[in-house]
Amino acid sequence: MQKRYSKEFKETLIAFYHSGQSVTQLSKEYDVAPATIYKWIDL
């Protein structure tokens, strides 16, 4: 089953990425697939 993430959660992870955290680090810390995070960044 697909997980649903709130808009706020997505925006928070994108903000962390833009502040210098790596996608790998965010993926491990928040249990989100790296490909998912990259997709959010590209939106």
Q: Please indicate, yes or no, if residue 1 is contained in any of the structural domains.
A: no
Q: Please indicate, yes or no, if residue 23 is contained in any of the structural domains.
A: yes
* The model's pTM: 0.85
Domains in the chain, number: 1
- Return the amino acid letter for 40: W
- List pLDDT tens digits, range 1-43: 678 999 999 999 999 999 999 999 999 999 999 999 999 999 8
Which pLDDT value is given to residue 1? 66
Which pLDDT value is given to residue 43? 84
Write out the residue range of the structural domain in which residue 33 sits. 6-40
Under a CB-based contact definition with an 8 Å cutoff, are residues 33 and 6 in contact? no
Q: Is 39 helix (H, G, I), strand (E, B) or coil?
A: helix
Q: Please indicate, yes or no, if residue 14 is contained in any of the structural domains.
A: yes
